[in-house]
Structure 1
Amino acid sequence: MTNYLYLFFLVLTVAACKSPEARKPVSAKSGSFIDQSVARNIELNEREHAVFEQLMQADTTTKYIASNSGFWYAYQTQVADSLITPQFGDKLTFEYHVTDIAGNTIYSKADLQPQTYIMDKQELFTGLREGLKLMRAGETVTFLFPSQKAYGYYGDENKIGTNVPLICEVTLHSITRSESN
């Protein structure tokens, strides 16, 4: 009887020392949702670029510049004698208004009031943040932002809906350097 008891404990000890085995997934998911989402976003981006191309071709008096960040801009007022552009931490004072691609006002300058913004330390939609970095104090620039550079899929949860490309006219009044710059 004691031999059986020793044998039982020996089998139990050997079984307890077994390394754990990886479990197989219950079901394997394919990347089809992500692939479909990528395809939709590429199509949306191409449609918005085509609309902006038409707008730029129709406006023969304005020279639009393509940014490296995926939007276009044109100077309404350009300041050539200043080399100072906003850097991280600088305090900016600016005003702007927002229209849709049909020219309908979404937010007027009166709605938005002059803004004070600390460069890259406060929230601002991606396109406008990147656009301000291109400006000098005293300049007025018109930006054409595709929806992914504006408010994207979520909109601003107020007047700007899902995937709405925007046109913003921005006037940068002042740049106050931060102490670290």
Structure 2
Amino acid sequence: MKSSFLFVMTVLLVVSCQKPKPRFPVVRKSVSEVETSIELNNKLKTAEELILKKVIKKDSLSTYYASKYGFWYKYDSKGNGNYFPKKGDELLYTFSVYNVNDKLIYKEKEAHYWVDKQDIIDGLEIGLKLMKQGDEITFLFPSNVAYGYSGDQNKIAVNQPLIFKVKLNQINKNESN
């Protein structure tokens, strides 16, 4: 009896001295899922670029400029200002939103924006910084700089390229600029 007790204790002592084995995650993201996502995003980008280039081609009387941020724009009219908005400036502007078939989504609305201190869609944020007071510009935004994969949960669909017509009415300069 004493020997069996010693045997059990020895076995327990040996087993308890082993290092614990690490547990690995059950689910891991595979490289192929990431590659598939990249491939789908590239296809979406290419398809939207083709759509926006068709809009540009259809409007052959206008000159469109490609921005380094992935959208295009044209001047409908130039203002008489010579100052570009800087961080902290308050911008008063009007805008309307159209789909790529030039169908109105949101009618003209007045808005204000404090440069780099408020959140608005990326394309509009960058576009407003390209404008001077009095400028009227038409922007062609692919979905990645507009409302992207979520839309606006109302009238703008998922991954929808958009046309914004914007007029920068007033720039209230930040006193520290």
Structure 1: which amino acid aligns with 2:123? G
Q: What 5-or-longer segments of structure 2 have no aligned partner?
A: 1-7
144, 149, 163: which one aligns with 1:148: 144
What is the TM-score with the length of structure 1 in the denominator?
Answer: 0.84
What is the TM-score with the length of structure 2 in the denominator?
Answer: 0.85
Deviation at 1:19, TM superposition (A): 6.1
Deviations 1:66-114 (A, max 9, x none): 00100000011123651x11111110000000000001100010xxx31
Contact 2:81 2:133 in 1 (8 A): no
Deviation at 1:58, TM superposition (A): 2.0
- The secondary structure found in structure 2 opposite 1:114 is strand
Deviations 1:19-42 (A, max 9, x none): 655333335441333222221111
Aligned length: 177
Q: For 1:1-16, what aligned pairs fall within 5 Å after superposition?
A: none
- The whole-number CA distance in structure 1 between the counterparts of 2:13 and 2:69 is 63
- The verdict on how the C-alpha distance between 1:18 and 1:80 changes in structure 2, with shifts beyond 3 A counting, is farther
- The secondary structure found in structure 2 opposite 1:108 is strand
Q: Which residue does 2:165 correspond to in 1?
A: 169
- The whole-number CA distance in structure 1 between the counterparts of 2:132 and 2:35 is 41
Deviation at 1:136, TM superposition (A): 0.4
Structure 2: which amino acid aligns with 1:98? V
Deviation at 1:179, TM superposition (A): 2.5
- The whole-number CA distance in structure 1 between the counterparts of 2:19 and 2:78 is 70
RMSD, aligned α-carbons? 2.6
